[in-house]
């Protein structure tokens, strides 16, 4: 049985390094599907030229290349021009009501990161082809339920609109503004994102918003295609990206990065009794050498297998995007604290002695 090693090349069934960055997994009919950004070589590879790649396995030891599940080549559908647009952090769920596979991704049509939208594509099969349904911002015209009154102040909103846009990196000016109010009519910004499906079947979009200063948690409708459900703000002015969400012992956990572009930074963890919050920060979950940079990585997804939780992360190589590496670590526990320790070994497939 092949064991992948963190940070090394991960060959697929054709011996080619797996090309599924910023990815997420889905379990369906005995298979595990891995969806991720298909990158190309060089710096240009950080924009989308091809689409979303899908692989599948039964046991994590052999990943079969199943091709491009969402293909943007040969078309300008929805304004997605290959080489100009950005498609990041794709995640897929299967909707029990419609039987459709629903793919969400962060979408920029112009590569400038100012659209800050969510792309949604649908397929009848887990391997696709996924067809674009829409590209839009969440929560158009809908205040997050827990928006503080001061952010609804019309003067503050007018002041925000009179100012140059806040760049999507930590910025002290943000505390005087109401980005949530200024964006209300056009929808809330959405960059890094993930999907989380709870045990009751409900699904949520968790996305960096308000110039990445604040996370939003949006409950999806029963078809998983509408972004106008109840929304809650979390971690205001904490500049969190790369949300990774999981459930453990009846509570909800989140591990996010800080906001430093492709450069790795220290992760933060948090716990809540309900997915919409309130969330309590638990500090940096990483331990040991490299903890201040999450061991040189940024999280992308949490995966549960046999009651254990795995933190799936990218080691980005922005100068040669296609060469990005994967680091999968098991989440262990210090009491209530989720903890990450670096390891050369990928902890999957599970060692039968430990399972
Ligand atoms: C950090 C994000 O987590 C990535 O998904 C990507 O958007 C980069 N920033 C771009 O700089």
Question: What are the tokens at 27?
Answer: 């379990």
Asked if residue 271 belongs to a domain, the reply is yes
C-beta separation of 309 from 320 below 8 A: no
C-beta separation of 52 from 84 below 8 A: no
CA–CA distance, 78 with 170 (Å, rounded to integer): 31
What per-residue confidence (pLDDT) applies to 167? 86
Strand partners, 197: 203
Asked if residue 10 belongs to a domain, the reply is no
C-beta separation of 180 from 144 below 8 A: yes
Q: Which of 192, 194, 215 to mutate to test the pocket of ligand 1 (most atoms within 8 A of CB)?
A: 192
184 CA to centre of ligand 1 in angstroms: 24
Q: Which domain holds residue 58?
A: 21-140+186-341
Cβ of 48 less than 6 Å from ligand 1: no
308: domain CATH number?
Answer: 2.115.10.20
CA–CA distance, 261 with 258 (Å, rounded to integer): 9
Asked if residue 166 belongs to a domain, the reply is no
How wide is the angle at C-alpha 98 spanned by C-alphas 95 and 104, nearest 5°? 45
Note if the pTM is more than 0.85. Answer: yes
99 CA to centre of ligand 1 in angstroms: 31
Q: Which of 89, 113, 212, 255 to mutate to test the pocket of ligand 1 (most atoms within 8 A of CB)?
A: 89
Give, using CA atoms, the residue closest to atom 3 of ligand 1: 242
Query: Phi and psi for 66 in degrees, rounded to 5?
Result: -110, 10
CA distance to 39, 108, 111, 240, 266, per residue, from 172 (Å): 33, 25, 25, 15, 20
Question: What are the tokens at 109?
Answer: 């049509």
- Tally the domains of the chain: 1
What per-residue confidence (pLDDT) applies to 3? 84
Question: Which segments in the chain show pLDDT lower than 50?
Answer: 355
SS3 313: strand
Q: Which of 116, 189, 191, 300 to mutate to test the pocket of ligand 1 (most atoms within 8 A of CB)?
A: 191
């Amino acid at each position: 049985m092949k064991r992948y090693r963190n940070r090394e090349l991960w060959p697929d069934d054709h011996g080619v390094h797996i090309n599924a960055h910023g990815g997420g997994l889905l379990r369906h009919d005995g298979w595990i599907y891995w969806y991720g950004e298909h990158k190309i070589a060089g710096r240009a590879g950080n924009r989308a030229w091809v689409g979303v790649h899908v692989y599948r396995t039964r046991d994590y030891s052999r990943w079969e290349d199943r091709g491009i599940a969402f293909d943007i080549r040969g078309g300008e559908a929805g304004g997605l021009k290959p080489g100009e647009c950005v498609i990041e952090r794709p995640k897929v769920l299967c909707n029990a009501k419609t039987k459709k596979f629903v793919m969400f991704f962060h979408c920029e049509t112009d590569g400038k990161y100012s659209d800050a939208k969510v792309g949604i594509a649908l397929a009848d099969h887990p391997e696709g082809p996924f067809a674009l349904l829409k590209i839009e911002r969440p929560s158009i015209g809908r205040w997050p339920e827990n928006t503080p009154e001061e952010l609804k102040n019309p003067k503050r909103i007018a002041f925000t609109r009179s100012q140059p846009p806040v760049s999507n990196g930590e910025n002290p000016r943000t505390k005087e503004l109401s980005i949530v109010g200024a964006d209300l009519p056009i929808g809330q910004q959405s960059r890094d994102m993930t999907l989380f499906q709870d045990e009751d079947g409900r699904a949520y979009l968790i996305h960096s918003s308000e110039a990445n200063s604040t996370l939003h948690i949006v409950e999806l409708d029963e078809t998983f295609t509408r972004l106008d459900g109840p929304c809650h703000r979390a971690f205001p002015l904490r500049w969190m990206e790369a949300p990774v969400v999981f459930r453990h012992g009846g509570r909800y956990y989140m591990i996010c990065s800080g906001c430093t572009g492709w450069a790795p930074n220290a992760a933060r963890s948090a716990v809540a009794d309900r997915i919409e919050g309130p969330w309590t920060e638990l500090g940096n979950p990483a331990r040991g050498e490299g903890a201040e940079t999450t061991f040189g990585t940024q999280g992308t997804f949490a995966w549960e297998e046999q009651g254990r939780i795995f933190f799936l992360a990218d080691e980005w190589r922005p100068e040669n995007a296609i060469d990005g590496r994967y680091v999968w670590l098991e989440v262990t526990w210090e009491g209530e604290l989720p903890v990450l320790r670096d390891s050369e070994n990928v902890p999957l497939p599970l060692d039968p002695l430990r399972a």
